[in-house]
Amino acid sequence: MAAAGQDSQHYTPEGLVQRLEGALSSLGREGHALRAEDLAPLDQFHSRGLEATVELADVLQVNASSRVLDIGSGLGGPSRYLAAKYGCAVTGIDFSLPFVEAAALLAEKTGLAGRVSYRQANALSLPFDAEAFDAAWTQHVAMNIADRAGLYREAFRVLRSGGRFAIYDVVALNDALPYFPVPWATDSSTSFLVTADETMRLVEAQGFRRVWSADSTQAGAEWFAQREKERAQRTSPPALGLHLAMGPGFAQMGANLSRSLQEGRVGLLQAMFEKP
């Protein structure tokens, strides 16, 4: 989820790999490859989790020969889903070294290390040649980046002609700020929301052609409401969850995003673009 421009401390949890190893060991799955469904509560670091990843993957149109770039890959859940589902090769980049190391660990645990790879990099200066990928996507990353034009310009550069670019982001709905802290920012100094219309304009200004878009705000609000009901019924945190990466304060971050969605302070946008 981390790409560039954010508070580095927000995405640099100490001892993350060790915590993940301990949590995975407690599941008693030694000797058995973990599936995307097993890890979804932990590694789908965006609103609506695995469900949103599946939706976006359906319109990305990749196959076993595709080279895919996951910009701001976080713990690697979406990239591993793509590799497992479609057999494609996926490269994930993230600004947070602990996330890169954790994603590599989870790739080994899921038996996908041969099809996915991760490296620390800046989304505003991708370490790849022009036209190196057939598809790229980014989920809940752009909210941290002030230079949106730079982000989308780099995605355009590394895609071949005909390549597809998928985005899934939190967007501004009005002048109201979300309640802080949220999953991507402790306060407004590292949160750079723009509206859905402005997002479309910025992406298309780099040369992309819009293929598809969807407003996922209501679906996101309902998803958070269901998660809050489930949380209220638990007596302790689940063995796998984003609290392992973001600490005990993550529950409040999620609750603040849920409230912001419910009150119309922010929205959720999914969209697909193509490079001519």
Q: Residue 7 — pLDDT band, cuts 50, 70, 90? A: very low
Question: Does 4 have pLDDT greater than 60?
Answer: no
Query: CA-to-CA distance for 196 and 188, rounded, in angstroms?
Result: 19
Q: Residue 6 — pLDDT band, cuts 50, 70, 90? A: very low
Q: What is the DSSP letter of 140?
A: S
- The residue written with tokens 């989820």 in the block is 1
Alpha-carbon dihedral 49, 165, 188, 194, rounded to 10 degrees: -120
Do 82 and 50 contact (CB within 8 A), yes or no?
no
Do 199 and 267 contact (CB within 8 A), yes or no?
no
pLDDT of residue 3: 53
**What φ, ψ does residue 254 adopt, rounded to 5°?**
-65, -40
**What pLDDT digit, counting tens, does each position of 214-271 carry?**
999 999 999 999 988 887 887 777 777 777 777 778 889 989 999 999 999 999 999 9
Query: CA-to-CA distance for 178 and 163, rounded, in angstroms?
Result: 34
% the chain with pLDDT above 70: 92
β-bridge pairing 266-274 and 67-71 = unpaired
Q: Could you tell me the CA-to-CA distances from 219 to 42, 53, 123, 216 in Å, in that order?
A: 20, 14, 28, 5
**What pLDDT digit, counting tens, does each position of 141-175 carry?**
999 999 999 999 999 999 999 999 999 999 999 89
Query: CA-to-CA distance for 218 and 199, rounded, in angstroms?
Result: 19
